[in-house]
Every structure is written in structure tokens, then in C-alpha cells.
Amino acid sequence: MSFPDGTVTFLFTDIEGSTRLLQRLGDDYGGLVSQHRRVMRETAAEAGGTEIDVQGDAFLFTFVRARDSVGGALDAQRRLAAEPWPQDVEVRVRMGLHTGEPTLGEEGYLGLDVVRGARIAAAAHGGQVLLSETTRVLLPPVLPDGADVVDLGQQSLKDLDGPVRLYQLVAPGLASDFPAPRTEVSAGHEEDLKRQISALLESKLSSALEGFEVGKTESGEWMLRRRRR
């Protein structure tokens, strides 16, 4: 396979909650994956993309022009939202776009730009398209089909030194209301919150158990009883 070289824009995609869908659909999950692959391949090809890799429900495409990558992602999200999925499940695909000049090795692309693109996609939520500032700068002032980009600010991505500025693609027919990007900072905040809740519950439990002790009944069963004064 001949891969585009020089400056390219990566499109990384994968299905959010694929394990949950597999558990729900059972044997129908294979059909869902085939259906998802068909949609992704058709929309990427129509936008001028080249399929680089596919693993399960995850894709990597490249585009010579950043504008085409945005058009491909936009069309894919719209078609995915309109597809009749098995058992009427909702399939939400997260997507990330990043432009760079990766090294082209014998088996594909190498370099930090590949990692950066993958991390941007991992920060997205299902149905969301995130793009790097490098990609945004290369876009024309007016995007196709009423699309636009929203600045999400600086974000810390896994394994990358320094924050990365992320943007969200918005357009008619796309969901637009998402939580904060799934970054290391947001994950850290979640862990802090869990620790705070745990400490609060422990404090509340200690207060509630004040004046009680654990003991055994005559039959040898454990029980909670008031301390003897």
C-alpha cells in the first residue's frame, strides 16, 4: 500500500463503549462492526482519505488536505447518527484530527505526530470530533456545510510534554454538548473527587458509630452494640 508522505492530517476513530455494546448485542455485534466499518470507509474515501490501519472498531485514516479530513469526519458522524443499528442501539464514535509531518517507515507512520493524533482522539467523547491547533490553522475561513470550530483551551494529554490546545468541530446534525475532554487533568480531578467523597463518607460513618462497639452474641454471631458506660 502506498501511503501519502509529507504533511498529512490523521483521523483516528473508535467506538465509545464497545465492550458494553458487545455484552448487549451478543452475536449481533459482529454485524454492527461490519456496518460501522462500511460507513467509515465509504465516507473517508469520498473525502479523499487513505485507510492506514484498522483494529477492531478503531480506524486510522490520513488526508493530504486538512479541509478534506474535517469534511470526512463531519460526513461520517452524520451518517453514523442516521444508521439503523442492530437492536436499535446507539453507536457513538469519537474522532481526533491532527496534522503533522510524520516519518514514513516500512510498516507505516512513525513519530510524535502519530501519538499526538491518537491522544486527541482518546480525549474525545462518543459523537465528538476534536482537532489540534495545527489542523485548525490549516482550515479555510469558511468550512463546508455550516461547520465551525470551538476553542476548548489548553489540555494535558497522556504522555505528551506540555498542554495541547484542542478545538471541537461543530455543525448542524452533530451533537455539540459534551463534558470536558477526557484528559489527564480531568481524570485527576475525578480521582480527587472520589477520594474526597470517600473521606467524607468515612468521617460520617465514624461519627455515626460513635458510642457503639462490635461484639458477639451468645450464639457467637457478630453484632454492633452500644458501648457500656
Please write the tens of the pLDDT for every residue from 121-133.
999 999 999 999 9
The pLDDT of residue 203 = 60
Query: What count of other Cβ atoms lies within 10 Å of the Cβ of residue 129?
Result: 28
129-132 and 93-100 strand pairing = parallel
Catalogue all structural domains in the chain, each as residue range(s) with its CATH number. Answer: 8-178 (3.30.70.1230), 187-226 (no CATH)
Q: Which candidate, 31, 40, 129, 132, places its Cα nearest to that of 84?
A: 31
The pLDDT of residue 187 = 46
The pLDDT of residue 80 = 97
The pLDDT of residue 22 = 96
The pLDDT of residue 144 = 81
Q: Specify the pTM.
A: 0.79
Query: pLDDT below 70 — which residues of the chain?
Result: 1, 184-229
Q: Which candidate, 218, 35, 66, places its Cα nearest to that of 136?
A: 66
The pLDDT of residue 42 = 98
The pLDDT of residue 189 = 47
Stretch (H or E) spanning 208: helix 184-208
Counted residue by residue, the chain has a size of 229
pLDDT digits (tens, 9 = 90+) for 131-153: 999 999 999 998 988 899 999 99
- What SS3 class is residue 147? coil
